[in-house]
Each structure stands twice: as C-alpha cells, then as structure tokens.
Amino acid sequence: MNRDEAVALARYVHALCPQQRFDEYTPDVWGDVLVDIAFEDGKQAAVEIARRQPWIAPAEIITEVRRARTGRLDYFQYEPAPGETGVEFTRNLRAQIAATVDGHRPAALPYAGVPRPVLELTAGVGHDVPEPWETTTRIRSALDIACPNGACRAAAHKPCRTPSGKRLAGYHGSRTDAAQAA
C-alpha cells in the first residue's frame, strides 16, 4: 500500500468509525504498518471489522486480510497441463495459488464430458409409469406397532411403560406377539 492509498484507507476507516480519533500522522503510520496489504483488501477488511466492532486497528486489518486471502483458497484445485514436468507443475501451481489468493480466480476448465441426450432423457416425462409400484409396510421390530397392553398403550415407535410411567427395558409380551402376528 502506498502513501496515497494509506490516506484513502484512513479516511475510509474514519468514515466507517466516526468516533475513532485520527490526526494528521495517522495515515503515515498506517501506511508504514499496512505496507504489504493491497488497498482493496484493506478496504474490504475494514468493512468486515466495522460490522463487528466500533474501532478498527491496523493489526485487525492485517488479521482480517490474512483470513480473507486464506479463504480464497477454499475449493481451489490445480489441474496440471498434460505432459507438464515436475518443475513446471511446481512453478504453475505456485503462480496459480498466488493469483487466487490475490483475488484472481483461474478460468474454468472446459467441460470434457460427453453431452447427455437431453431429449431422450426428457421423452418419458409426463407419461405413466409402466409398472405400478406398491408400497408395502414391513414390520421390523415390536416398536413398529402400537402396544396393545391395556395399561401401556404406547404409540408406534415409542417404548413400553409400566403402569407408574417408568420406561421398560424391553416390550410387553402382547406387543411382541402382535408384531409376530403382523
């Protein structure tokens, strides 16, 4: 960040946080501290920080810029060119990572798949299914049915309970018998 950008960023931060005190030396100091930060990254970091808190320090801008630059690598995947040597791979990978971190996404690779026959896939839409599919209910355990015990009457998928309301470790015998009969 050069001196003019540091002055512009200090003015921007002062506009974001009017209660924060700035004097004529603040942009110079910020320019010295934020020398490695790009202006647009610093500006975006200031906005993110201002959304959370009323004061902005240069160290917080640096931390936010680092977080944003690291986040740009999410879902980054380098596809080497065919026949690329190890040295070329390393050089191209580093260049592409640097460009991505700086905010320049590489161009998307062309689609290498075979186009799907959309007309053939959509030809059957709106027609009846040739075979009717019947849904059958299958009882897998005694929990799949309601308990027929007069004192319990637990609903399906609910555990059996004693007359005092405590949960049973197993099932009532009548529930097990009903499940086997079903």
Q: Where are the domains of the chain?
A: 3-71, 75-108, 139-182
Give the global pTM.
0.53
Task: Quick: pLDDT tens for 154-177.
Answer: 888 888 888 888 888 788 888 888
Give the model confidence (pLDDT) of 18-76 as tens digits: 898 888 888 889 889 999 999 999 999 999 999 999 999 999 999 999 999 888 888 78
CA 65 to chain centre: 20
CA 19, distance to chain mean position in Å, is: 35
d(CA 38, CA 57): 16
